[in-house]
Amino acid sequence: MTVYNKAEEAANFLKAKLKEGNFENGTVAVTLGSGLGKFGNSLTRLITVKYEEIPHFPKSTVEGHAGALILAKDEETGKNFWVMQGRVHYYEGYSMEQVTFPIRIFFLLGVKKFLVTNAAGGINRNFDAGDLMLIRDHINMFGNNPLIGPNDKRFGPRFSDMTEAYDKKLSKIVEEEAVSLKINIKEGVYFGWSGPTFETPSEVRLVAALGGDAVGMSTVPEVIVARHCGIDVAGISFISNKAAGISAEKLSHEEVQENSKLVEEKFGALVKASVTRFLKI
């Protein structure tokens, strides 16, 4: 079975849910990473489907990454949007195809704009734990690419243009909303590689030398597939810690989760405001 057929089955399953509730489809999708648990729980939910209920959908195994796909209502515009509460990662042992499968479904559901979020280690010395960073661009160091293999033209072209992987117009909206909310948002390049180890201090120096401002273990495959499908993307990283060697402290997933509680309010407010604006254009 091709990825397209699998994604079609999953999309049809969700379209049936839309029909059942007589809900309007959403053209904006958001993936919630660490730091957005509260936002996820505050949503006006129309549909909540656990990942394991969706045909062919990969199941999340990481603590703190509950897996549910939600159709939520934006109270201000009255429009609906899709939310992925939790994602699966390449380091869990999933293939690139599985990691990016939700994006294929979004495409078949008619999603046009995608807001991706994540937690990342701060490489740029001007970044502190608790900062938010608008993703201006990324560097793919996963040692893999989700588009390797036969190309299905129904999704997109063989060679995807990545000149504007992060859409300028959508990114500007996120920045404007941060200003309105008095959130001091940084901006920079997200350097993505597989994990699950945190970096050694030497690797952190490598990332800095190569132009990364923040480093993480997700997002890049999803954004590549979104662009392949012609979906416009904006991204926000929550800097959960200074990367290894930049501060003297050791890193842990617990620290990432604890620090995520500190940003929940501002991060949630920014995502909410950005989504509302995306729904208006």
What distances in angstroms separate CA 269 from CA 69, 170, 245, 264, one per listed residue?
20, 16, 31, 8
Chain centroid, CA 209 distance in Å: 25
Region at 143 (left for phi over 0; alpha for psi -120 to 50; beta for the rest): left
Q: Does 203 bind ligand HPA (CB under 6 A)?
A: no
Instruction: Pick the binder of ligand HPA from 71, 105, 119, 225 (CB under 6 A).
Output: 119
Stretch that binds ligand HPA, among 22-30, 60-68, 95-103, 193-201 (CB under 6 A): 193-201
- Residue closer to ligand HPA by CB (options 56, 242) is 242
Q: Closest approach of Cβ 54 to ligand HPA, in Å?
A: 26
Q: Closest approach of Cβ 245 to ligand HPA, in Å?
A: 10
Q: Does 30 bind ligand HPA (CB under 6 A)?
A: no
Q: Closest approach of Cβ 191 to ligand HPA, in Å?
A: 9
Q: Does 123 bind ligand HPA (CB under 6 A)?
A: no
- Residue 26, C-beta contacts closer than 8 angstroms, at least 6 positions apart: 71, 72, 79, 80, 81, 82, 109, 111
Please tell me the distance from the alpha carbon of residue 93 to that of residue 147, in angstroms, as a whole number: 17
Please answer whether residues 22 and 50 qualify as being in contact, where contact means their C-beta atoms are separated by less than 8 angstroms: no
Q: Does 251 bind ligand HPA (CB under 6 A)?
A: yes
Q: Closest approach of Cβ 236 to ligand HPA, in Å?
A: 14
Question: Which element (helix H / strand E) includes 188?
Answer: strand 185-192
Q: Does 241 bind ligand HPA (CB under 6 A)?
A: yes
How many of the chain's residues bind ligand HPA (CB under 6 A)? 14
Q: Which residues sit at the interface with ligand HPA, rule CB under 6 A?
A: 119-121, 195, 198-199, 215-217, 240-241, 243, 251, 256
